[in-house]
């Protein structure tokens, strides 16, 4: 399960396909009056975890100069040294590359999902500035940037480019819908229960603050919908829509989408209850004094929890990823479980292990008792896992007290 959680973390943080970098030959430096700059928004694709958030890119089309490129800010090099560590630490560098429009859309045609195109209302000077910016930004020495899932990703980059190169000011219509980063992520992964479970493990209370419309635009679908209602306020006071035209560049293939099957009876909460039942079974074994088997089970249980806790600890204190701080999951998944799991068979340290189980049991019961008061949205699916760990700590306390009473008698 730990390997699966690590994979989930990596896929959540990246959420983008991998491509190789490239350089370009001769490029026209000036766009014609017939040129267009548009935002390409790809719908989520439930068949692959990395595509459940959708994708955004910027298209530059000029029939006069035969330019038809899509600038994709969602590219990274998997072969970089210490790739997994850099992912976990939030030190992943992404890059922008230009892709021929025909090649770009082929992948999405194969997926059978909608790709929307919004042509942005720009004058010739604004288009030229954006074109020059994209050419300069996609050069080998400039194309790399530090990726940030919420504030500096392939979608937010496009918003920044427009805001920086339009003469007027872009104003976004407030939707007055109170949502958090976690709410928006849940919308994207609701068909992927294990992905939702893994994400909720690693993001902390920072993901539960109410965010603005501008912040919601880290997701492609929210950016597209916000752009639909956005306006440009010019220096002379005139107002005009940001989006000039909108169309479906690629229509969804319903047959392909109907084949998607995310039904899995072994959801996180079901697996949690199975674990809780197993803990109950080994508790019965304890009453029958078959303690070796239950100790082996405890070692595996707490070792696994400790490894998961070490990941959360690392993300909390050493990662620069946003919203991984102040993570209350560290209470029930922490590195101490990994340490004490290795001591369960060390007889001289049984007293020390007893104190650990006592503290752990009390803390977990307090956590469950104050569940609704914690300033972080914790998944209900966490409860059976917490109960399973608490049960085993409680039984070990009972067993130690019983043994002390037997000695006293």
- Predicted confidence (pLDDT) per residue in 91-113, tens digit: 788 899 999 999 998 888 888 89
Alpha carbon distance 140, 230 (integer Å): 33
Nearest to 20 by CA among 150, 102, 143: 143
CA 41, 45, 49, 53 torsion-angle sign: positive
Q: Is residue 15 scored above 60 in pLDDT?
A: no
168: which 2 tokens? Answer: 């007027």
DSSP 136-171: HHTSTTT-EEE-BTTTBSTTHHHHHHHHHH-SSEEE
Looking at residue 409, the DSSP 8-state letter turns out to be -
Alpha carbon distance 94, 82 (integer Å): 15
Residue with the larger pLDDT of the pair 235 and 14: 235
C-beta separation of 231 from 170 below 8 A: yes
Alpha carbon distance 56, 173 (integer Å): 20
pLDDT of residue 263: 60
C-beta separation of 50 from 232 below 8 A: no
Region of poorest pLDDT, from 175-184, 249-258, 378-387, 388-397: 249-258
Element (H, E) at 70: strand 67-76
Nearest to 153 by CA among 100, 242, 219: 219
What is the CA 299 to chain-centroid distance, rounded?
30
pLDDT digits (tens, 9 = 90+) for 196-210: 999 999 999 999 999
pLDDT of residue 4: 47
Residue with the larger pLDDT of the pair 17 and 123: 123
Looking at residue 349, the DSSP 8-state letter turns out to be G
Looking at residue 44, the DSSP 8-state letter turns out to be P
**pLDDT band, residue 185 (cuts 50/70/90):** very high
Which residues contact residue 258 at a Cβ distance below 8 angstroms, ignoring those fewer than 6 apart?
A: none
Q: What is the mean pLDDT of residues 127-142?
A: 94
pLDDT of residue 297: 93
């Amino acid at each position: 399960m730990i390997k699966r959680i690590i994979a989930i973390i990596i896929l959540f943080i990246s959420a983008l396909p991998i491509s190789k970098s490239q350089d370009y030959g001769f490029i026209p430096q000036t766009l014609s009056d017939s040129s267009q700059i548009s935002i390409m928004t790809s719908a989520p694709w439930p068949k692959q975890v990395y595509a459940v958030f959708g994708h955004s890119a910027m298209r530059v089309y000029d029939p006069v100069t035969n330019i038809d490129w899509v600038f994709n800010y969602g590219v990274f090099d998997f072969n970089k040294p210490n790739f997994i560590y850099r992912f976990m630490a939030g030190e992943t560098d992404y890059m922008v590359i230009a892709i021929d429009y025909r090649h770009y859309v082929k992948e999405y045609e194969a997926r059978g999902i909608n790709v929307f195109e919004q042509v942005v209302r720009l004058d010739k000077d604004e288009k030229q500035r954006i074109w020059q910016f994209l050419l300069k930004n996609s050069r080998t020495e400039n194309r790399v940037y530090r990726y940030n899932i919420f504030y500096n990703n392939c979608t937010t980059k496009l918003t920044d480019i427009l805001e920086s190169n339009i003469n007027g000011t872009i104003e976004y219509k407030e939707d007055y819908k109170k949502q958090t980063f976690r709410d928006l992520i849940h919308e994207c992964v609701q068909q992927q229960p294990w992905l939702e479970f893994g994400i909720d493990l690693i993001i902390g209370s920072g993901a539960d603050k109410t965010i603005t419309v501008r912040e919601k635009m880290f997701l492609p679908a929210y950016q597209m919908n916000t752009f639909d209602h956005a306006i440009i306020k010019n220096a002379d006071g005139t107002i005009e829509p940001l989006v000039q035209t909108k169309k479906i560049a690629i229509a969804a293939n319903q047959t392909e989408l109907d084949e998607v099957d995310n039904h899995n009876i072994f959801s996180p909460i079901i697996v949690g209850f199975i674990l809780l039942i197993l803990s109950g079974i080994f508790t019965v074994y304890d009453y029958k004094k078959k303690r070796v088997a239950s100790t082996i089970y405890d070692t595996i249980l707490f070792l696994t929890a400790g490894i998961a806790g070490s990941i959360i600890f690392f993300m909390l204190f050493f990662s620069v990823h946003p919203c991984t701080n102040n993570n209350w999951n560290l209470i029930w998944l922490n590195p101490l479980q990994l340490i004490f799991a290795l001591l369960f068979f060390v007889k001289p340290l049984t007293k020390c292990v007893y104190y650990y189980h006592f503290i752990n049991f009390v803390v977990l019961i307090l956590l469950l008792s104050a569940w609704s008061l914690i300033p972080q949205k914790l998944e209900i699916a966490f409860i059976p896992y917490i109960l399973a760990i608490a049960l085993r700590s409680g039984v070990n306390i009972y067993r130690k007290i019983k043994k002390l009473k037997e000695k006293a008698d």
